[in-house]
Structure 1
Amino acid sequence: MNTLIEHLTGMHTLTDQVVAMDLLISAKSGVRNYAMAATEAGTPEVKELLMRHLEEAIDMHERIFAYMMEQGQYHPWNVNEQIEVDLKNSDTALRAPTL
């Protein structure tokens, strides 16, 4: 989408938020998968490797989560604020020009 159109429609912020949320969901999935794999590891060496990756995945999730909180894109502990963000994003998406 053209940068000018993105700014006029408000899609530039929505695009950033969509990318961040997708990354957050992927990081959460990675945490879950590494935790599960570590419990199934066949050797102590493999378990140690998976645990290191799990710690890195948890750190990545935390950094993405903090970014989204700082940007006002994610309010996991305040349902009313999150609903407002979601409604605003829905309105922006509905007003977006169709191709």
Structure 2
Amino acid sequence: MDKLFEILGSAREITDQVIVTDLLVTVKTAIINTAKAINETGNEQLRTDLKRKLHEHIDQHERVFSYMMEHGYYYPQGPTQQLRVLNETAETVLTLNRD
């Protein structure tokens, strides 16, 4: 039974890593798309609302980024470490898709 909990515990951590990595990509996309929308609108109220939303997305990115750094999921200063993490994440996603 202890072995089962050990496996489930490590699977949860890896799953958290996959989820938070996806969240970071989603937030980055939201920042880009919101910035584009700001540039495309002529409506001042909509532009104001989009600017507020852009700042919310930037704040969310900072929180997700900090979480990833604290948990060892993201290494922007260390390309070798980051490649290792990305490979592990990709392997996990492929394994989850097989199940």
Count of residue pairs brought into register by the alignment: 94
TM-score (norm 1): 0.79
Distance 2:51 2:89 in 1: 37
Unpaired runs of 5+ residues, structure 1, are none
Report what 1:76 is aligned to: 76
TM-score, with structure 2 as normaliser: 0.79
CA contact 1:11–1:93 (8 Å) conserved in 2: no
Contact 2:75/2:81, CA 8 A, preserved across alignment: yes
1:8-47 equivalences in 2 (<5 Å): 10-47=10-47
Structure 2 spans left out of the alignment, 5+ residues: none
- How well do the aligned residues superpose, as a CA RMSD in angstroms? 2.4
Report sequence identity in percent: 37
Moved over 2 A (4+): 3-7, 83-96
